[in-house]
A = this chain, B = another copy of it.
Amino acid sequence: MTDDRRAAGAPTLEDVARAAGVSRATVSRVINGIRNVDPVIQEAVRQAVSVTGYTPNRAARSLVTRRADAVALVVSGAGVEPEAAEEAEGAAASGDRGSFTAQVFADPFFGRVVTGVVGYLRPRGMHPVLMFAESSRAREEVVAYLRQGSADGALVVSTHAEDPLPALIAEAGLAAVLFARPARPVPVSYVDLAHQDGARLAAEHLLARGCRRTATISGPLDVPAGQARLTGFRDTMARHGHAYVPVAEGQFTQESGEVAMERLLAQHPDLDGVFAANDLMALGACHVLREHGRSVPGDVAVVGFDDSSAAPACRPPLTTVRQPVEQMAAEMTRLLLDRLARPDGPVTSVIFEPELVVRDSA
């Protein structure tokens, strides 16, 4: 009967130990590389492992180590448009294009975050669990998921300013690192970009090109990043004598960029430069400008932000402010793993410097 059981399930430590003629403890030591085990025995154990085709059972290990060796990658917030996502739960299941997850992945930005996270995690034998937290129930699920030990910590990317998730996680004493500084202070580490510097770069470039009548399409102003990019742009312009800069607020989507551009063009038909707070909106702006008979960059110079995959691919290729999203995401992941290794470590922030990428649009 013992044999029957063995045949049925996967081989266990016990099986390997028997095959190698040692105890479970010794096999465990070899596998986890702990303490000195006689090289001869080590070899015997390794043999036995490959003979039996042993794979450690993750659940059993987690149970005793109290670590899942997994992290959650949480996309949090209330959708690109603040209130749009509190829709019926059922809608998401049908996968329609308006759902939160659909909107999230329409933005190449998240793909880059995933790339950075996976790039750091993979070499360490870990993989992210993808979660979405766009409703309060979903946020509770995320917290519960972490509390029940399914993941050791969370990487949180908020799309929404007042996202309560970071605070919830902090209160529950769970490990997390954020992408971007939270709107209201929370004792959690984060990575971020020097948004103002990026906007300054864009402003200076437009000025250097000779643009005198520039406008800007900002991001949502309740998001710190949206706010900072606007401030940085305005300040730089002011410092160069341009006291007034027309602003139209967008939502980081291409469509909102189009709408904003229409508005700006209606009010200021003579503008010769536009700074859009992200590439998607810059793209929308380009389309609208062309439809109104303006050539880019001939009549109007356009600068985007992010250097997303769309930037080099569109026509004309977009001059933009590069945000090293992949590196930032990797750093975010590093911070989290650090935190897991030393739970009482300090709460820190790492700010990255943006870089101007000059292409054809400005």
Cβ-based interface call for A101 (8 A)? yes
Least distance between A201 CB and chain B CB atoms (Å): 20
> Interface-forming stretch among A127-135, A190-198, A233-241?
A127-135
Say yes or no: A127-B127 contact (C-beta < 8 A), given A63-B59, A115-B101. no
> Interface-forming stretch among A157-165, A244-252, A326-334?
A326-334
Q: Which residue of B lies closest to A327 (CB)?
A: B95
Please tell me how many copies of the chain the complex holds: 2
Cβ-based interface call for A10 (8 A)? yes
Q: How far is the CA of A89 from the CA of B56 in the complex (A)?
A: 24
Cβ-based interface call for A57 (8 A)? yes
Residues of A139-174 at the interface with B, using a CB-CB cut-off of 8 Å, are: 141, 144-145, 147-150
Please tell me if the beta carbons of B315 and A290 are within 8 angstroms of each other in the complex: yes
Please tell me if the beta carbons of A148 and B55 are within 8 angstroms of each other in the complex: yes
Please tell me if the beta carbons of A106 and B309 are within 8 angstroms of each other in the complex: yes
Please tell me if the beta carbons of B114 and A101 are within 8 angstroms of each other in the complex: yes
Q: How far is the CA of A99 from the CA of B122 in the complex (A)?
A: 13
Task: Pick the contact of A105: B112, B122, B330 (CB < 8 A).
Answer: B112
- The interface bits of chain A over 73-112 (1 if a CB of B lies within 8 angstroms of the residue's CB, else 0) are 1000000000000000110111111010110111010111
Cβ-based interface call for A208 (8 A)? no
Q: Which residue of B lies closest to A126 (CB)?
A: B129
Residues of B within 8 A of A350 (CB): none
Q: How far is the CA of A130 from the CA of B128 in the complex (A)?
A: 6
Cβ-based interface call for A1 (8 A)? no
Cβ-based interface call for A41 (8 A)? no
Please tell me if the beta carbons of B330 and A93 are within 8 angstroms of each other in the complex: yes
Residues of B within 8 A of A326 (CB): 94-97, 102
Please tell me if the beta carbons of B118 and A57 are within 8 angstroms of each other in the complex: no
Please tell me if the beta carbons of B120 and A56 are within 8 angstroms of each other in the complex: no
Please tell me if the beta carbons of A92 and B127 are within 8 angstroms of each other in the complex: no
Please tell me if the beta carbons of A101 and B127 are within 8 angstroms of each other in the complex: no
Residues of B within 8 A of A119 (CB): 92-95, 99, 101
Residues of B within 8 A of A55 (CB): 144, 147-148
Q: How far is the CA of A10 from the CA of B55 in the complex (A)?
A: 28
Please tell me if the beta carbons of B127 and A129 are within 8 angstroms of each other in the complex: yes
The 10 A-B residue pairs with the shortest CB-CB distance in the complex, in nearest-first order: A95-B326, A105-B111, A59-B62, A59-B63, A101-B115, A95-B116, A55-B148, A106-B309, A93-B119, A58-B150
8 more A-B residue pairs beyond the given contacts A10-B147, A92-B123, A95-B330, with a C-beta to C-beta distance below 8 A: A55-B144, A57-B148, A95-B326, A99-B119, A101-B115, A105-B110, A111-B111, A127-B131
A-to-B contact residues, CB < 8 Å:
10, 55-60, 62-63, 68, 70, 72-73, 89-90, 92-97, 99, 101-102, 104-106, 108, 110-112, 114-116, 118-120, 122-123, 125, 127-132, 138, 141, 144-145, 147-150, 254-255, 283-284, 287, 290-291, 309, 313, 315, 324-327, 329-330
